[in-house]
A and B are shown apart, each in its own frame.
Chain A
Amino acid sequence: MEAIILQILNGLDKGSAYALIALGLTLIFGTLGVVNFAHGALFMLGAFVAVTMQRVLTLGFVPEGATGTSAGGFSFGTARETPYVEHWFGPEVGGTIIDWAVPISILVAIPVMALIGVAMERGLIRFFYKRPHADQILVTFGLAIVLQEIIKHYYGANPIPTPAPDVFVGSFDFGQVLGFDPYTIMYPYWRLVYFGFAAVVIGGVFAFLQFTTFGMVVRAGMADRETVGLLGIDIDKRFVVMFALAAIVAGMAGVMYTPILSPNYHMGMDFLVLSFVVVVVGGMGSLPGAVAAGFLLGILQSFASMTEVIELIPGINQVVIYLVAIIVLLTRPRGLMGRKGVMEE
């Protein structure tokens, strides 16, 4: 029983990341009709906003009289630096600010990712609105590789540890709450925070689309772009905003994921393929479909990784997502919640 609860928790967690990325993908696809293979790169860029923020906060100076960095009897270059924030606010407050680098990065990631999103849309993607999907896939895939290589050039290829604030280090004992023995169902605090965060972001995006005039226009545009245009509404302007919004969602998902997975330059690609499967299973252009499929596939993937399941069907952990995709597409060709007419013209 505890094994099942644990795998559901794992699945919810993994599903949160899938759902957040797939949500952005679907938003862009539904509004702009663009298949954006660079969306995973936006997730990765978000993670590197956190890495950059961590570096900016630990930027420092070499105190007077400090000797060079030495270890094991050798000297390697410059001396240990004192971070400016510790110098300005004192070691305690400064230390706390550095410790909270990841949550602080969320605030920075919003404008940065919006800017990147707008630049990407205005600078490149808008020229591909009327081109075939194959062209869009090629150009966005190329863009993803370029972004990856830029990040690798500046940050290297190794994962960079980006820890959560100290208060979130450690695990919550679910077992005791649910009446099991202590230490049977332990779950890291940060992963619970991530799940909560994903729920808030997803809820926020839905509320924005549902309850604002802007959202109503966008939804109308998703349903029938031509008619909305005929009504004299400049739908393109709104779509730029939607692209920026999708970039922000992906970026924030990336920032918050850094304590779970030390970021490296190809983490976006790792998530992208799975997120596309999520979108297809959920139904192209369906936002609730993307979210539901994200959680569903996350949970299925976790269960497929259980030893008992692997013993029964070897290799299932590697293929379960694609297997489900095949079954869903065979039985419901438009995905779980797909609408008629999307990508079918």
Chain B
Amino acid sequence: MKDRNVSRRGILKVGAATGVTLATPTIFTGAVWADAHTGFTNAPGPDVVTLGFNVPQTGAYADEGADELRAFELAVEHLNGEGDGGMLNTFSEQNLDGSGILGRRVEFVTGDTQTSSDAARSSARSMIERDGAIMISGGSSSGVAIAVQGLCQDAGVIFMAGLTHSNDTTGKDRRANGFRHFFNTEMSGRALAPILSEQFGNDRKAYHLTADYTWGWSQEGSMRTYTEALGWETVNTVLTPVGAGDFSAYLTPVANSGADVLVLNHYGGDMVNSLTQAVQFGLRDLTVNGKDFAIVVPLYSELMAQGAGTAIAGIPGSQNWDWKLENQLGDRYRGTNAFVESFAAKYNRPPSQAAQTCYAQTILYADAVTRAGSFNPCAVVEALEGLEFDGLGNGPTLYRADDHQCFKDVVVVRGKENPENEFDLVEIVNVTTREDATYAPDHPDFQGGELGTCNPGA
């Protein structure tokens, strides 16, 4: 056998030559940022770009995570020119033509957050370091989102948050590399207050049960601010451990507390259990202070509504988006039907709001890269900041530069009294316009942190 001498120097030469060849096409394309195609973490090669989708695949939010993954897969299909194109056809920024992102085919890897900050960070790190993911998206908990956002900032990749509703994600814990499309507890408070006033009046006494973590505190704070502004009195606030299961010990004092409204600042399994049990304890049938007792669930989700069954009938709450928006409220919510048709054709079910936000985030990222002409995170940040867009199902939307938060309409919903089938669980009551949902960048609840500067990494 002939001995092949491969020297170290030879490998370096070939490597350098290959590098130059690979880099050549982008050096001569794009605008300002294209010059900087190297010098950032995980710069993709000429053929493929890898995105990392970090969703809960195990644990209490696994069903939500599964729906997020469905949306990501659909978004990747559409970006690669497969399927019917979904919201690419309705998106106001017509830069994506189904040829991937900047001519590179989109591939993706997935991680399991397990709804735990540590697990989420390690799966995100693995996707960045081992799989070369240039962007991380997904998640179904604010604790997780904040942890992963911090990691992405340090690693020099973009984080397009999935379902995270705590003010802190774009408040005190905001980061330059992180962007949130989903709404937050401040917007829920603003959207719900007028509806609560109309439905239950301004002379009410509220009792809060609150999940004891960042999102719960944030939700309780916003609901208190806006209901107390209406004239409601907060009788009591009780923190409940996450995953308490049996809430009877927390629910039984409510009936004799003098309160006539119960606000459940719970999400996921906690919300399903606390709401079901509150109804079992007969709270909904009570008359207190001469008024019918009311229950409010500030953050709704279709998947939770399925879990709670008949207990959600008539209970108001807020959502980021609903799949019935365009059919019920018209062309302002363009994109909704395109997305639902696309999703239903592939999965035979309507998408959840978590799915819509993840799909939108993926498309927004791809569009930003295309407009910037580069995958450099700093280029993407610049392209997303202050972006005014439409056609992704939420109506006219702004990605505000000050805090990387999207501002758009907020949907107020109510559990349907007599649902016709498993998909038809909530009805749209009202929509709070973007103007009314918008708060100032210097809002006190969002202070205590800075965006800082974008980090391109390597």
Contact A157–B253 (Cβ < 8 Å): no
Task: Tell me if A163 and B309 are in contact (CB < 8 A).
Answer: yes
Q: Does B3 contact A (CB under 8 A)?
A: no
- Mark contacts of B344-361 with chain A using CB atoms, 8 A cut-off: 1 yes-contact digit, 0 otherwise: 100011100000000000
> Could you say which residues of chain B place their CB within 8 Å of the CB of A71?
324, 350, 420-421, 423-424
Name A257's closest neighbour in chain B (CB-CB). B246
A123 on interface, CB distance cutoff 8 Å: no
Question: What's the minimum C-beta distance from A185 to chain B, rounded to whole angstroms?
Answer: 8
B243 within 8 A of A: yes
C-alpha gap A317/B66 in the complex (Å): 33
A7, A72, A157: the one within 8 Å of B61 (CB): A157
With an 8 A cutoff between CB atoms, is A264 at the interface? Answer: yes
Is A76 among interface residues, defined by CB-CB distance under 8 A? yes
Question: Is A39 located at the chain interface by the 8 A CB criterion?
Answer: no
The answer to whether A77 and B252 touch (CB under 8 A), given A161-B309, A261-B273, A266-B60, is: no
Interface pair B252/A160, CB less than 8 Å apart: no
A-facing residues in B61-97 (Cβ within 8 Å): 61-63, 66
Contacts of B256 in A (CB 8 A): 2-3, 184
Within 8 A of A (CB), among B251-281: 252-253, 255-256, 269, 272-273, 276-277, 280-281
Which residues 390-440 of B have a CB within 8 angstroms of A? 420-421, 423-424
Alpha-carbon gap, A310 to B323, bound state (A): 42
Q: CA A270 – CA B245 in complex, angstroms? A: 8
Which of A152, A190, A270, A317 is B62 in contact with, Cβ under 8 Å? A152
- Cβ-closest chain A residue relative to B269: A159
B308 CB contacts on chain A under 8 angstroms? 161, 262
Q: Which residues of A contact B276 (CB under 8 A)?
A: 161, 262
Q: How far is the CA of A317 from the CA of B272 in the complex (A)?
A: 21
Known: A158-B63, A171-B280. A307 touches B309 (CB 8 A): no
Q: Does A170 contact B (CB under 8 A)?
A: yes
Residues A277-333 near B (CB distance < 8 A): 301-302, 305-307, 310, 317-318
B423 touches A318 (CB 8 A): no
CB-based contact A306/B253 at 8 Å:
yes
Q: Are A76 and B282 in contact (CB under 8 A)?
A: no
Contact (Cβ within 8 A) A307 B344: no
Contact B282 A69 (CB under 8 A): no
Q: Are B348 and A307 in contact (CB under 8 A)?
A: no
How far in angstroms is the closest Cβ of chain A from B349? 6
Question: Does A6 reach chain B (CB closer than 8 Å)?
Answer: yes
Interfacial residues of chain B within 274-330, with CB under 8 A of chain A in the complex: 276-277, 280-282, 285-286, 303-304, 306-311, 323-324, 327-328
* A223 within 8 A of partner (CB): no
User: Is B449 among interface residues, defined by CB-CB distance under 8 A?
Assistant: no
Interface pair A171/B349, CB less than 8 Å apart: no
Q: How far is the CA of A75 from the CA of B256 in the complex (A)?
A: 46
Q: Provide the bound-state CA to CA distance between A80 and B241, in Å.
A: 39
Q: Are B423 and A159 in contact (CB under 8 A)?
A: no
In the complex, are the beta carbons of A191 and B62 less than 8 A apart?
A: no
Say whether B58 faces chain A, with CB atoms less than 8 Å apart: yes
Q: Are A158 and B269 in contact (CB under 8 A)?
A: yes
Contact of B281 among A2, A188, A301, A310 (CB under 8 A): A188
Chain B residue numbers with a CB within 8 Å of A260 are: 246, 277, 280
Known: A264-B269, A306-B249. A76 touches B277 (CB 8 A): no
B450 at interface, CB cutoff 8 A:
no
Is A156 touching B62 in the complex (CB atoms < 8 A)? Answer: yes
- CB neighbours (8 Å) of A310 from chain B are 238
Chain A contacts with B in 69-83, Cβ cutoff 8 A: 69, 71-77, 80
Distance (whole angstroms) from the CB of A304 to the closest CB of chain B: 8
Query: Which residue of A has the minimal Cβ distance to B311?
Result: A161
Q: For residue A295, give the distance in angstroms from its CB to the closest CB of chain B.
A: 15
Binary flags per residue of A135-162, CB closer than 8 Å to B gives 1, else 0 = 0000000000000000010001111110
Residues of B within 8 A of A80 (CB): 421
For A307, the chain B residues whose CB sits under 8 A away are: 236, 238, 253
Most chain B Cβ neighbours within 10 Å, of A11, A75, A161: A161
Q: Once the chains bind, are A10 and B62 in contact (CB under 8 Å)?
A: no
C-alpha spacing A71/B422, complex, angstroms: 9
Q: CB distance B59 to A157 under 8 Å?
A: yes
- Contact status of A76 and B327, CB under 8 A, knowing A157-B60, A261-B273: no
How many chain B residues touch the partner (CB < 8 A)?
A: 52
| Residue of chain A at shortest CB distance from B349 | A76
Chain B residues lying within 8 Å of A108, measured Cβ to Cβ, are none
Looking at the assembled complex, report how far the CB atom of B416 sits from the nearest CB atom of chain A, in whole angstroms.
Answer: 10
- A267 close to B (CB within 8 Å): yes
Question: Contact between A158 and B306 (Cβ–Cβ < 8 Å)?
Answer: yes
In the complex, what residue of chain A is closest to B341 when comparing beta carbons?
A: A74
State in angstroms the CA–CA spacing of A318 and B250 once bound together: 13
Q: What is the minimal beta-carbon distance from A27 to any residue of chain B, in angstroms?
A: 24
Contact of B248 among A169, A266, A270, A302 (CB under 8 A): A302
**Using Cβ atoms and an 8 Å threshold, which residues of chain B touch A187?**
281
Question: Does A261 contact B238, Cβ atoms closer than 8 Å?
Answer: no
Alpha-carbon gap, A274 to B420, bound state (A):
40
B206, CB-defined interface residue at 8 Å: no
Note all chain A residues with C-beta closer than 8 A to B148. none
Closest Cβ of chain B: how far from A108's Cβ, in Å? 22
A188 neighbours in B (Cβ, 8 Å) = 280-282
CB-defined contacts of B252 to chain A, threshold 8 Å: 3, 6-7, 9-10
* A267-B245, A305-B249 known; A170+B328 contact, CB < 8 A: no
Q: A310 — nearest CB in chain B belongs to which residue? A: B238
Report the bound CA distance from A169 to B272 in whole Å.
17
Interface pair B282/A171, CB less than 8 Å apart: yes
A190:B272 contact, CB within 8 angstroms: no
B348–A77 CB distance below 8 A: yes
In the assembly, what is the distance between CA of A190 and CA of B66, in Å? Answer: 33
**What separation, in Å, do the CA atoms of A302 and B303 have in the docked complex?**
30
Interface string of A180-208 (1 = CB under 8 A from B): 00011011101100000000000000000
Do A159 and B253 touch across chains, with their CB atoms under 8 A apart? no
- With an 8 A cutoff between CB atoms, is A86 at the interface? no
**B340 contacts A by Cβ under 8 Å:** yes
- List residues of chain A with CB within 8 A of the CB of B328: 72
**Cα of A260 to Cα of B311 in the assembled complex, Å:** 13
Contact in complex: B249, A10 (CB < 8 Å):
yes
Given A76-B423, A161-B307, A183-B286, 16 additional A-B pairs, CB 8 A: A3-B252, A6-B253, A10-B249, A69-B421, A72-B324, A74-B323, A76-B344, A157-B62, A157-B63, A158-B303, A159-B269, A170-B282, A186-B282, A266-B59, A310-B238, A317-B249
27 contacts between A and B (CB under 8 A): A6-B253, A7-B252, A11-B249, A71-B421, A72-B323, A72-B324, A72-B350, A73-B324, A73-B327, A74-B323, A74-B344, A75-B344, A77-B348, A157-B58, A157-B61, A157-B63, A157-B66, A158-B304, A159-B269, A159-B272, A161-B306, A171-B282, A183-B255, A188-B281, A190-B280, A262-B309, A270-B245
Q: Which residues of A contact B (CB under 8 A)?
A: 2-3, 6-7, 9-11, 13-14, 69, 71-77, 80, 152, 156-161, 163, 169-171, 183-184, 186-188, 190-191, 259-262, 264, 266-267, 270, 301-302, 305-307, 310, 317-318
The 5 closest A-B pairs by CB, nearest first: A157-B62, A161-B309, A305-B249, A171-B282, A72-B324
